[in-house]
Amino acid sequence: MMNYYGYDMMGGWGIFMMIILVILIVIIVYAVMKLVQGGNNSATSQSSRDEALEILNQRYVKGEISDEEYQQKKKILKS
């Protein structure tokens, strides 16, 4: 309901409160999505690096790659 000054009963705070509500909903949705996805990708990343390093070591031992190539790829995986 509009009063004499053209504002609703909340005195212009209605839009501000709606923006805050939308921001809170977005934060909650983001948090729930992170929880559903597991939230901890660093452990997955570390295990995949370890697996890649193991494969690299196996290829080096079998003689599929040279010393130089092994050192380059190992340096990349460690960083």
Is the pLDDT higher at 12 or at 56?
56
- Tell me, what's the pLDDT at 35? 86
9-22 pLDDT per residue, tens:
556 677 888 899 99
Give pLDDT, residue 57: 92
DSSP 6: S
Residue 51 in tokens: 């697996």
Residue ranges of domains in the chain: 13-78
Please tell me the distance from the alpha carbon of residue 56 to that of residue 53, in angstroms, as a whole number: 5
